[in-house]
A and B are shown apart, each in its own frame.
Chain A
Amino acid sequence: VVVYLNLHSFLFFHVLSLCLGYSPPGKPKLTSCRSPEKETFTCWWEPGSDGGLPTTYALYYRKENSDAVYECPDYHTAGENSCFFNKNDTSIWVNYNITVVATNALGSNFSDPVDVDVVYIVQPHTPENVTVTVMEDKDGPFLRVSWEPPRKADTRSGWITLIYELRVKLEGEEEWEEHRAGQQKMFNIFSLRSGGMYLVQVRCKPDHGFWSEWSSTTYIKVPDYFPRETSVWILIAVFSAFIFFILTWILNLKSNSVKHCLLPPVPGPKIKGFDKQLLKNGRSEEVFSALVVPGFPPTTSSDCEDLLVEYLEVYTPEEQELILEEGKDLQEGCLKSKGSPSDSDSGRGSCDSHTLLMEKCGEGEGKEEKHQERAQKGKRQQKHQTGWEEGDVSHTREDVLSPDMSEGRVKTWPSVFSPLPQYSSRPLDHQGSLETARHGLQLPGFRSTEYVEVQRVNQEDMVILQPLFSSSCQRDGHLQIGQGEDYSKVKGVDSGNMLLLQREVEVKREEEDGDRYSCDIQDRVTESCYTTSTAASSQVTGKPTSCAGTAMPVQEEMVLAANGYVDAATMLL
């Protein structure tokens, strides 16, 4: 009956508790076990729910060799929910099977068992007595950190081997600088910031175990010092000096261009006859009066004779080739605008191609054959000529196609003169005349460098030529420059490819031109040689000039049809 009553009350109690919402405890859980020195260890657990009723916890363990179950010897030393195994209860290289039980009035709950071998769960305490001192050496101050192993760990006997690690940072920084110190208990830190406040911490770990916690922070202030990294400063100074010297030298070298860049020169006046000194010193009237050049603006000629092309260069075909070979630039040069006489560079300079012509004189003969080819080419070219300018002067040079040349030296076929109307305005006709003129042209091979000057183009669009030489250039009596004998009008070119000249000519001499060209002509004349051609008619005679010095025989006949120089005097014969 008593038993029945007990059971009944027990059941009643349970049912009542359940009705009131109580329950057996939840499952506890062993969180970790740790041994600080490989001699003792502690295990901690986490309680489950307590079911609303007061719950007690118990820890039971079994060692690997026996089946005996023991209860935790010490629940208090290590705190709440812990079990401390002292030295007597601790065996190493032995597996412990540990279980925690939670018990309350309604029941109990076992945790999952955990196997523990003490040697694998070693986690020492933090190193002790961490001291940091500032020391000096020749390079500056450094920190010496020293510490001691945690008190309990027996490193002296070699039972536990600890390795250390420390970390440093400046106050206010985020990142720590970590250093492994191995088994030593002292460490030096260099390269400190002058006047900085440093934080130092140390921790340790057994050879096969877990890291301890970081020791409490030690603060140390580095005194102010001047960084004696003199080598760096020296290097910087040398480098800067070097750069400076280089720059100075470059600047010196390029002083002109720098000056030019920074202070561009003011263009001075380039007026001929303009005296700068006079401008600086004298009065303006004087200065400007000096500018007045007699003869400019030209007032004498009223029909723009002077403004026209100064002279015509009439070549033989081969000369033209050779001249061409020389380079068209000569041609171009020759075609500079005649401009005003006051211009000292009259553009004639390039027309020192005369001298070039001289040089090529000897070669002329050899090029007969080539010339024929080119003549054909030239013909074709002529056909393609476009853009001839009307009026003034037409450029009839065989190979020159550029219409720009119309204003420059006119190198023209004498035959151009005769059919004047045709020639000047109608390229087609001109071509035709040129062609006829060229037909059957034989290379006289002579290289006459005498110029025929275009005096003007008259109303009928005729180019009026005059020789360039003046009386002063006469060397011998061969040059017969009489009145009205200096130039002749080209009447035409007959079928025999001869230049037909008119008798009546206007005597006109351009003093200036003559002066200018006289001596040139002389020069030319001395070197030139009239080469004869057999095709010439007797109407035109070669002009015996001072070219007599040449080896070329002077024949009576002279063909000047294509590119010869027209010597008016002789042709009048």
Chain B
Amino acid sequence: MAHRGSQATTLYLTALYMLVSCTAVPVNDLLDRASQRSDKLHSLSTSLTHELDSHFPPIGRMIMPRPSMCHTSSLQTPTDKEQALRVSESDLLSLARSLLQAWVDPLLLLSSSANSLPHPAHNSIYRKIQELQEYSKSLGDGLDILSGKMGPSSQYISLLPFRGSNDIGQDKTSRLVNFQFLLSCFRRDSHKIDSFLKVLRCRAAKMRPEMC
């Protein structure tokens, strides 16, 4: 009985292993897909900020909080190329994942307040926020898989809690200003994620230099 049982288990494991190895996507392919998603994510956020800017009260630009007020500014990221290229792959991945994780809640807030935004294009904005959430989710999943392949240090995620309140303001101007501020923070962070992943992609694509 036990003999047969162990035989069955071995067989099962072998089959599973073969299945996994056959269907395993190579790392550079995964990175390629991930960087495509992050590229799209950043493009969306850029178009969102431009759309919002089209009907932005001039006074709003005055009272806009500084970018250092973003909730993710506490995360230490490279500030120039030399620094960035010195970061290890797993750290880069970890940074990317941390940033992505930090925006799950704020995106929810943005999504919930987009419909009632005092802006003529609030419908389109709402749709784009939804898309952002989708891409963000799928990217997060892909990065999780990647981190599984790249070693334990890539598993580390910095916690960047979003301390913003549950609504974005009371009056029209402050709502718009807060919305735009959040979007600008997201735009920068999505650019960081995209850059890190593309650096990673090039490092992994030693076999295919045309990628870079």
User: Is the beta-carbon distance between A183 and B211 smaller than 8 angstroms?
Assistant: yes
Known: A64-B66, A158-B202. A207 touches B81 (CB 8 A): no
Stretch at the interface among A91-99, A362-370, A398-406, A504-512: A91-99
Known: A39-B80, A64-B66. A158 touches B46 (CB 8 A): no
Query: B27 to chain A: closest CB distance in Å?
Result: 15
The residue in chain A whose Cβ has the minimal distance to the Cβ of B198 is A158
- The reply to whether the CB of A155 lies closer than 8 angstroms to some CB of chain B is yes
With a 10 A CB-CB cut-off, give which of A39, A95, A117, A158 has the most chain B CB atoms: A158
- The reply to whether the CB of B43 lies closer than 8 angstroms to some CB of chain A is yes
User: Is the beta-carbon distance between B80 and A157 smaller than 8 angstroms?
Assistant: no
Stretch at the interface among B114-122, B125-133, B175-183, B186-194: B186-194
**Which of B68, B81, B194, B200 is A39 in contact with, Cβ under 8 Å?**
B81
User: Is the beta-carbon distance between A157 and B79 smaller than 8 angstroms?
Assistant: no
Query: B4 to chain A: closest CB distance in Å?
Result: 53
B71: chain A residues within 8 A (beta carbon): none
B window 45-92: CB within 8 A of A: 46, 66-68, 77, 79-81, 84-85
Known: A159-B84, A183-B211, A184-B210. A91 touches B79 (CB 8 A): yes
Known: A117-B188, A208-B43. A157 touches B199 (CB 8 A): yes
The residue in chain B whose Cβ has the minimal distance to the Cβ of A155 is B212
B194: chain A residues within 8 A (beta carbon): 207-208
How many residues of A are in contact with the other chain, CB < 8 A? Answer: 26
Query: A206 to chain B: closest CB distance in Å?
Result: 11
Query: B58 to chain A: closest CB distance in Å?
Result: 12
Cα-based distance from A256 to B12 in the complex (angstroms): 89
- The reply to whether the CB of A381 lies closer than 8 angstroms to some CB of chain B is no
- The reply to whether the CB of B97 lies closer than 8 angstroms to some CB of chain A is no
**Which of B46, B202, B210 is A157 in contact with, Cβ under 8 Å?**
B202
User: Is the beta-carbon distance between B188 and A158 smaller than 8 angstroms?
Assistant: no
- The reply to whether the CB of A409 lies closer than 8 angstroms to some CB of chain B is no
Tell me whether chain A's interface is mostly helix, strand or loop, or mixed.
Answer: loop
**Which of B80, B209, B211, B212 is A92 in contact with, Cβ under 8 Å?**
B80
A90: chain B residues within 8 A (beta carbon): 80
**Which of B46, B79, B199, B209 is A94 in contact with, Cβ under 8 Å?**
B79
- The reply to whether the CB of B37 lies closer than 8 angstroms to some CB of chain A is no
The residue in chain A whose Cβ has the minimal distance to the Cβ of B188 is A93
B188: chain A residues within 8 A (beta carbon): 93, 117, 119
B42: chain A residues within 8 A (beta carbon): 208
Query: B92 to chain A: closest CB distance in Å?
Result: 11
B201: chain A residues within 8 A (beta carbon): 158
- The reply to whether the CB of B203 lies closer than 8 angstroms to some CB of chain A is yes
**Which of B46, B79, B198, B200 is A93 in contact with, Cβ under 8 Å?**
B79
B46: chain A residues within 8 A (beta carbon): 208
User: Is the beta-carbon distance between A159 and B210 smaller than 8 angstroms?
Assistant: no
**Which of A39, A92, A93, A156 is B202 in contact with, Cβ under 8 Å?**
A156
Residues of A within 8 A of B (CB): 38-39, 64-65, 87, 90-95, 117, 119-120, 154-159, 161, 183-185, 207-208
18 contacts between A and B (CB under 8 A): A38-B81, A64-B66, A90-B80, A92-B81, A93-B188, A93-B192, A95-B67, A119-B188, A119-B191, A157-B203, A158-B200, A159-B81, A161-B198, A183-B210, A183-B211, A207-B194, A207-B198, A208-B46
The 9 A-B pairs at the shortest CB distance, nearest first, are namely A158-B202, A158-B199, A91-B79, A158-B198, A158-B212, A95-B67, A159-B81, A39-B81, A64-B68
Can you name 19 extra interface pairs (CB under 8 A) apart from A157-B85, A159-B84?
A38-B81, A64-B67, A64-B68, A91-B79, A92-B81, A119-B191, A119-B195, A156-B209, A158-B199, A158-B201, A158-B203, A159-B81, A161-B198, A161-B212, A183-B211, A185-B210, A207-B39, A208-B191, A208-B194
